[in-house]
Amino acid sequence: MDKTEFYKLLIRRYKEKTATDEEIEVFFQLIREGKLEASLMAEMGIDLDEAEAPAPRIRSRRPYHLAAAAMVLIGFGIAFLLMNHPSAPLTESALALAPDDVPAGGNHATLTLPDGSRIALDEIGIGALVEEAGVRIDKTEDGQLVYQVASSASTGTNHRGEPVLHEISTPRGGQYQVVLPDGSRVWLNAGSRLRFPPVFTSAKREVYLVGEGYFSVTHNNQPFIVHTDGQQIGVLGTEFNVRAHPDEPTVQTTLVQGSVRVDLENGRSSYVLKPNQQSVVDRQAQTARIEAVVATEYAAWKDGYFTFRNTPLATVMQDVARWYDVAVDAGALPDKRLYAVLPRDVSLATLLEMIELTSGVQFTLKERRVSLER
């Protein structure tokens, strides 16, 4: 079977909801890479060479096959936004936002030190931010906060022997990456906080998360523990996503690779996850369930995508509200579910058009508030 036939088969199986989890993961990856473009167009009966795009509505600097990134509508066929063939090169004026439109979020975060001083990371230059007690904190060109610890570094405790903690926090509309003292990497999503010691010196590496973070943990003999409200996660070296927003009733831990153990706060239950498994912990009831998932879909946000599969529209709009720092009239949202891969770097008006295409719901955007069109 050649590539064209394989792509056609993959699209057909996805449309008919007969694709396996592995096939769905391949499908989304091919969409992100722009390799399904011609096959999707053919599925819709569109001549790729003759297709023209409504260029004035495009506000993304992402290569256009990625900005188009495949709006996928299941049950009624596939809808694919024709944004990848502008009739003329985009200019700065074409990229300007319309009135009431809202730009996508970006790398915005604040570092809070043990003495209470705060550093706005998006307002400070590249290079060393702090150097003290054998710890150097750098801001890199690619938007990371990097901790480097000398062998002579102090223990990182106060006079009572308690660990001192640094905190990196992202606002609504912000995200950031931090490289911890042990080399582990954490991606923080919008509206999140991570507290951690500047030096890991005890028998275990402990951090504290509120919100959503993706962890790529460096392997060593010290257990790495992530504390959230209602649970703690213990690992040695692995990659996983944690969603623990305080305004949501559950905490989700999704394992991409390796192994993790999730211990409930009440101490009565623990669960060991395998790759492509997710634990969903009910904070109030202190119960958990384990589900089989495509783990990379839950981590796609760190690579610049919203990925929704049978996701309630209310949850979709909750994510949109955090990333664009807007209010959403959630009470009026219909009971619909969304299947889509959406780019996170387009303006809000453009994103809402994509959601309208796949959901059939019409929105209005005014003064940073999203409402249903009446």
* All structural domains of the chain: 1-96+304-374 (3.55.50.30), 106-293 (2.60.120.1440)
- On the question of pLDDT at 158 being above 50, the answer is yes
Determine contact, residues 145/168, Cβ cutoff 8 Å.
yes
Quick one: pLDDT at residue 7? 83
Mean pLDDT of 82-102: 47
Q: What Å distances lie between residue 29 and 25, 71, 222, CA to CA? A: 6, 13, 34
C-alpha dihedral, 169 to 174 to 175 to 178, nearest 10°? -40
Determine contact, residues 197/167, Cβ cutoff 8 Å.
no
Higher pLDDT, 254 or 65: 254
Q: pTM, whole model, 2 decimals?
A: 0.77
Quick one: pLDDT at residue 155? 59
Give the pair of three-digit tokens for residue 53.
């795009």
- On the question of pLDDT at 1 being above 90, the answer is no
What's the rounded Cα separation, in Å, for the pair 188 and 315?
Answer: 19
The answer for residues whose C-beta is within 8 angstroms of residue 67's C-beta and 6 or more apart is: 58, 60, 83, 84, 343, 345, 346
pLDDT tier, 328 (very low <50, low <70, confident <90, very high otherwise): very high
Give the pair of three-digit tokens for residue 334.
């219909």
What's the rounded Cα separation, in Å, for the pair 204 and 201?
Answer: 8
Higher pLDDT, 88 or 148: 148
- On the question of pLDDT at 356 being above 60, the answer is yes
Quick one: pLDDT at residue 33? 67
Quick one: pLDDT at residue 69? 38
| Averaged pLDDT of the chain | 81
Q: Is the dihedral of CA 50, 87, 344, 141 positive or negative?
A: positive
- On the question of pLDDT at 25 being above 50, the answer is yes
Quick one: pLDDT at residue 360? 81
Residue 319 CA, distance from chain mean position? 9
Higher pLDDT, 163 or 310: 310
Quick one: pLDDT at residue 257? 95
Quick one: pLDDT at residue 84? 33
Quick one: pLDDT at residue 85? 30
- Choose the weakest-confidence range: 31-35, 115-119, 157-161: 157-161
The answer for residues whose C-beta is within 8 angstroms of residue 213's C-beta and 6 or more apart is: 186, 187, 188, 189, 192, 194, 226, 241, 242
Summarize pLDDT for 192-248 with one digit per residue, the tens.
Answer: 999 999 998 778 899 999 999 999 999 988 999 999 998 999 998 899 999 999 999
Q: Up-side HSE of residue 214: CA atoms within 13 Å toward CB? A: 18
What's the rounded Cα separation, in Å, for the pair 298 and 312?
Answer: 15
Residue with tokens 């396996």: 20
Mean pLDDT of 9-36: 73
CA angle 189, 363, 252 (to 5 degrees): 30
Which amino acid appears at position 321 of this protein? Answer: A
SS3 (DSSP) at 22: helix
Determine contact, residues 84/112, Cβ cutoff 8 Å.
no
Q: Is the dihedral of CA 350, 97, 56, 94 positive or negative?
A: negative
Summarize pLDDT for 31-70 with one digit per residue, the tens.
Answer: 666 777 677 666 655 444 544 444 333 333 343 333 343 3
Higher pLDDT, 354 or 208: 208
The answer for residues whose C-beta is within 8 angstroms of residue 317's C-beta and 6 or more apart is: 328, 330, 333, 370
pLDDT tier, 160 (very low <50, low <70, confident <90, very high otherwise): low
Q: What is the CA radius of gyration of the chain?
A: 22
